[in-house]
């Protein structure tokens, strides 16, 4: 579950209202400025080119995260820890323990990034077809990347933009989208967002809460149980439900909504008859 409860407000800002200005004896300010021009390093260009070649070899049902982007929309490469390997049955992508987002390289400690390199090297070593296959695709630097210890900022940059970190292929929406459209990984916690890629198509993971904010829910029992309760697993901090979810987390409990609630009815809307007033009971289309 994901929600956070803000610490008790500082005395100087106890009366701060939404949209207000906070100041103290040593005031701080936040400015919105133009983003520095983002350039694609030679490392990222090579990695992205290779990833696209790999994806071209894969069938739709082999892709890590669903179907190819529709129409003319290209893949977006997410810096999410993309450990590509080739096995007896083709290409597979595993997620690293930690993915380094591009902007996060500037606070990344080389020795900690080097641990990611070592773990990647161990995984790739278990798939001996990988390095020859990457070399055949033109990514000959793969072996050197895996073997070279990361000791400085240059090494961190090279790893951050490499095939083994920067090439989690996603559609734009799954990468950077926001609700009420499609929740993207950049904006929603991975333990919840990840369910988008394994959930039943007729279960609505993302719902509109009574206060108009958007959250995520999960069933409390397996499919076909007839239990229409839903567990609240994510809300934004601005939601009226944030306090209850945070309290549940602190007490090791679940925040559960009843089966006749608008939220539960949304979540199970495709599994029950349109006129039903409760999500409990047998599904309309058992499977």
For the stretch 8-50, pLDDT in tens is: 333 333 333 444 444 445 556 677 666 556 678 999 999 999 9
- The verdict on 160 and 195 lying in the same domain is no
- The verdict on 159 and 197 lying in the same domain is no
pLDDT the model gives residue 38: 62
The reply to whether 66 falls in a domain is: yes
pLDDT the model gives residue 15: 34
Domain's final residue, options 132, 153, 170 = 170
Let me know: does 209 contact 235? Beta carbons within 8 Å.
yes
- The verdict on 181 and 130 lying in the same domain is no
Buried b (16+ CB within 10 A) or exposed e, 17-52: eeeeeeeeeeeeeeeeeeeeeeeeeebbebbbebbe
Check pLDDT > 60 for residue 201. yes
Residue whose entry in the numeric block shows the structure tokens 């108009």: 212
Pick the residue with more confidence: 2 or 55?
A: 55
pLDDT the model gives residue 263: 96
Number of domains in the chain: 2
Summarize pLDDT for 100-155 with one digit per residue, the tens: 999 899 999 999 999 999 999 999 999 999 999 999 999 999 999 999 999 999 99
Check pLDDT > 60 for residue 246. yes
The mean pLDDT value for 61-68 works out to 88
Range of the domain at 109: 42-170
pLDDT the model gives residue 23: 44
Q: By CB neighbour count within 10 A (0-12 exposed, 13-18 middle, 19+ buried), where does 113 fall?
A: buried
- The verdict on 146 and 70 lying in the same domain is yes
Let me know: does 264 contact 276? Beta carbons within 8 Å.
no
- The verdict on 190 and 260 lying in the same domain is yes
- The verdict on 182 and 97 lying in the same domain is no
Summarize pLDDT for 67-102 with one digit per residue, the tens: 899 887 899 999 999 999 999 999 999 999 999 999
Let me know: does 276 contact 267? Beta carbons within 8 Å.
no
Check pLDDT > 70 for residue 55. yes
Check pLDDT > 50 for residue 186. yes
Count other Cβ atoms within 10 Å, centred on residue 74: 12
- CA gyration radius for the chain? 23
* Per-residue confidence band for 166, with pLDDT thresholds at 50, 70 and 90: very high
pLDDT the model gives residue 9: 35
pLDDT the model gives residue 14: 35
Mean pLDDT taken over the chain: 88
Domain's final residue, options 118, 137, 170 = 170
Q: pTM above the 0.75 mark?
A: yes
pLDDT the model gives residue 10: 34
| CA–CA gap between residue 7 and residue 242 (Å, rounded) | 13
Pick the residue with more confidence: 197 or 287?
A: 197
- The verdict on 142 and 83 lying in the same domain is yes
The mean pLDDT value for 202-225 works out to 95
Residue 81: closest CA among 131, 119, 137: 119
- The verdict on 260 and 154 lying in the same domain is no
E strand map for 96-238? 168-170, 206-208, 214-219, 230-234
């Amino acid at each position: 579950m994901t929600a956070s409860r803000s610490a008790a407000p500082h005395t100087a800002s106890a009366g701060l209202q939404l949209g207000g200005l906070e100041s103290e004896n040593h005031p701080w300010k936040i400015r919105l400025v133009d983003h520095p021009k983002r350039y694609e390093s030679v490392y990222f260009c090579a990695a992205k080119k290779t990833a696209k070649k790999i994806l071209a070899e894969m069938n739709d049902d082999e892709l890590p995260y669903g179907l190819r982007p529709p129409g003319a929309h290209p893949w977006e490469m997410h810096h999410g820890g993309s450990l590509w390997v080739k096995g007896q049955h083709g290409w597979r992508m595993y997620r690293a323990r930690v993915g380094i987002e591009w902007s996060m390289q500037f606070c990344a400690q080389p020795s900690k990034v080097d641990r990611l390199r070592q773990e990647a090297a161990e995984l790739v070593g278990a798939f001996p077809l990988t390095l020859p296959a990457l070399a055949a695709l033109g990514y000959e630097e793969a072996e050197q990347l895996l073997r070279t210890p990361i000791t400085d900022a240059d090494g961190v940059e090279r790893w951050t933009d490499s095939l083994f970190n920067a090439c989690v292929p996603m559609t734009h929406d799954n990468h950077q989208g926001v609700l009420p459209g499609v929740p993207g990984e950049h904006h929603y916690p991975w333990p919840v967002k990840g369910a988008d890629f394994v959930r039943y198509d007729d279960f609505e993971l993302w719902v509109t809460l009574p206060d108009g904010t958007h959250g995520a829910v999960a069933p409390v029992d397996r499919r076909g149980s007839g239990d229409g309760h839903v567990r609240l697993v994510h809300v934004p901090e601005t939601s009226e439900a944030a306090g209850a979810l945070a309290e549940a987390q602190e007490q090791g409990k679940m925040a559960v909504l009843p089966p006749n609630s608008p939220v539960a009815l949304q979540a199970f809307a495709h599994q029950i008859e349109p006129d039903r007033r409760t999500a409990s009971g047998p599904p309309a289309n058992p499977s």
